[in-house]
Structure 1
């Protein structure tokens, strides 16, 4: 029978972030850890972007940072004052390469590849069923980052943030690489809340990402059509090459996720670490990972780890209610938000780090009647 102290299911941002923090602490040097995933992570399949007001745990693999951001909404382009924050990008391939190089140096960590089918808890063992084998292990602490959508419910609001990005390249210098576009709502809103962000990584290369908050995804060709249209109309580019492509889907829901259920601790998206109203996830994963490691090192119960505040969950639910019912579009909401508030205050709010006083000040700048009506809908039993 296999003996492990910890088992981590999934080697995405959540699983690897937790494991890297374990490796960074000498407390885990003699602990046996098993990492399970269906795929070998050797492709640049995603990009994580986030804001931060200090050097972070993964700062050494940040691919690009911006201190200047633009926002295009209902009014002309607004330059955002984001000090003391910086907007940061980590490429998936850099993240994976760094993490797996660290893992190679740790003889106490094993990796198994295979599609997870089930985890069966018995009195004196755990059976992990993969597609082509079964692993019989002694009892261990399991962290599960594999997200599976729950059944629909009338009380839950469920949207998808889905996006396709092209890393485009021009023959001659074209982009101002210090200036990124956080949100550009000049694209049509026929499908629902839709915007583009543009992240120049050099004067010849930029990631252009078409993003939507809607109940369903589009046909693959529709993303390509919208990207090509945006690049031609707003970037004024006719000639470019596509160096890389990425596609992703992030759940946006007001569902209350369980941290512990069925003998496992849920982390990352599976554990509710996606900001429901924006889809930002990476920084919430980092906070949760550090809480877990701190609790384990201090021999404290993981049940004491703070979960998402009910207050911020309510704010997210109200915004999702407006988007889902189309009573107010994302273009109108975010335009008002960025027109009437400092970007640094908005970032702090979206990080769930503001005080009630700061939140009331910010909320007072939004469209009163639609938000009040949506609030009452959310509060209905």
Structure 2
């Protein structure tokens, strides 16, 4: 028999074949190599495909639209190739009409093994001692997460195991990173900053000397709709409040040697905000790879090309922050709606010279 095929058009996935079999039970339907195979039709039926006496329809349900695709006849069998691949785990209904009662069959590909794999990789700050006026946490995931309000999956427990009431800024949809692998949890700035009504009425969310646990609920779903593979807890103790502006004079620069790709290393006397640090410190006219380590108290730049002897400048945007939101030269004042990874409109800088010697 000559092989032929027809493309289904106009959104109607119906193909018509007159069929005669010695017994209806001899019609066999299977899903093979991503296509539906129908066997058991007589030679006469296969030769008369265009007569229209028999109708075959593929769908995901009795009332669902027919699936678009292509069919062909080969080796005495009818094959249906969908325009888009069949979904693993989903059942498809094949209906054959040729006079009398219709014939139905259900086919499906094996379901994927949907084992949750996404985890919380890290919560910043890394240190386990945070200032009483701590401003925010960054939750980093191993894969993109679903959008929406993440605060429903985060809670803060005190050293009695009690949940801290309303510690966070209730704008949970606003603080996703661009790739949905980082979520920022802000403490309510009105409770953190002194002299503001929420602070006076409720006090700070965390208090010096007490221990806390930030808990991430594993029911938080990733972009594939799967829950987290495991819960995550970050334990920390609250230290004294930090209300001192950042002073670059307190930084220690360790200069590299000329004609090497040794890193320039900058050590800070306190942990700094990791996301802001990654975007606000650079060496003028030098490209390279940035590393942040030692609980966010060290910043390093490994240059793409060997250093040349001479004077260089470390450039710091003045919006650089410590854990309490204090910036270079000024204490905490924050617009929480400014993206931490988009300081493009900031032009105020602080320059720190250093020398590379032979």
TM-score, scaled to structure 2: 0.29
Structure number with higher strand proportion:
2
Q: Which structure has the higher relative contact order (CA within 8 Å, separation 6+)?
A: 1
Structure number with higher helix proportion:
1
Higher Cα radius of gyration? 2
